[in-house]
Amino acid sequence: MTHAEPFEARLVAARPLSPSVRELSFERADAKALSFAPGQWVNLVLPLPGGEVKRAYSIASAPDGSPRFDLAVTRVEGGAGSEYLHRLQRGEALRAIGPHGLFTRDPGDPAPALLVATGTGITPLRSMLLAALRAGLSAPPLWILFGARFEADIIYRDELEALARGSGRLRYEITLSRGGPSWPGRRGYVQAHVPELYRALAEESGDPAPHLFICGLDRMVSTVRELARGELGVPRKHVHVERFD
């Protein structure tokens, strides 16, 4: 069981994941393990010129009993919090409070799941996926559908492609809403592909009602949730959502 507590987090590494997304690796300054469930988020307390603000960020890494955890932050134009985090220097520390959230998946859960994300909505799903793969061989089929505008916006692509190649249970699908002429993959918004993938997962896994985890901005999350409950008839308890706005 995890419970939220305040702690100091120091930035130990950072790298760009795309032109607008920066991955930040923090470590608890007290060197204690950050205990959390895959899918949970932390609040960062940001000392902005106008006063402190809190911003929530889902943890992108899987819990591993260490003080370290990764976040991936989209730079929102004119967004004070995300712009601050894109400027944060290695060695600087922030107050954090967490973990929080009920959008979680038990790494040992035997139920197949379709994980749907746009943009940095992939972060909690990456945590769930890494934790499930780490939990062992009996992991059920886990399929990811990731949506972005351009090819350059696809984050964690190399890693997820490598994991999918190495595991028959993992399928990784990308759709681009503004893919260029050379893009060979799926096109359009995620919602255009959810019915086909959900039904194929049900068929392949032999489970008529796989779970659906949906994370991103409200407009996408609400659309996919309506689709799930309506057209696809996914049981209410099998639909899990997290909204970033």
Q: Decide if residue 175 touches ligand FAD (CB under 6 A).
A: no
Q: Decide if residue 115 touches ligand FAD (CB under 6 A).
A: no
Q: By C-beta, is 42 or 201 nearer to ligand FAD?
A: 42
Residues 35-54 that bind ligand FAD (CB under 6 A): 41
- What is the C-alpha separation between 186 and 88, in angstroms, rounded? 36
- CA neighbor of 240 nearest in space, from 212, 207, 198: 212
Q: Decide if residue 18 touches ligand FAD (CB under 6 A).
A: no
Among 13, 76, 152, 162, binds ligand FAD (CB under 6 A): 76
For ligand FAD, what does the binding mask look like between residues 134 and 173, x meaning CB under 6 A? ----------------------------------------
Q: Decide if residue 9 touches ligand FAD (CB under 6 A).
A: no
- Minimum gap (Å) between residue 23 Cβ and ligand FAD: 10
Q: By C-beta, is 80 or 97 nearer to ligand FAD?
A: 80
Assess contact for 157 and 173: CB atoms under 8 A.
no
Q: Decide if residue 97 touches ligand FAD (CB under 6 A).
A: no
Which part of the chain contacts ligand FAD (CB under 6 A), choosing from 117-125, 155-163, 173-181, 202-210? 117-125
Q: Decide if residue 69 touches ligand FAD (CB under 6 A).
A: no
Among 99, 112, 119, 141, binds ligand FAD (CB under 6 A): 119
Closest residue by beta carbon to ligand FAD: 79
Q: Give the torsion sign (CA, 68, 69, 74, 78).
A: negative
Q: By C-beta, is 76 or 162 nearer to ligand FAD?
A: 76
- What is the C-alpha separation between 41 and 37, in angstroms, rounded? 9
**Residues contacting residue 91 through CB under 8 Å, at least 6 positions apart:** 10, 11
Q: By C-beta, is 176 or 232 nearer to ligand FAD?
A: 176
Instruction: Give the relative orientation of helices 122-135 and 157-166 as an angle to the nearest 10 degrees.
Output: 30
- Minimum gap (Å) between residue 44 Cβ and ligand FAD: 8
What are the residues binding ligand FAD (CB under 6 A)? 41, 55-58, 71-74, 76, 79-82, 119-120, 123, 217, 242, 244-245
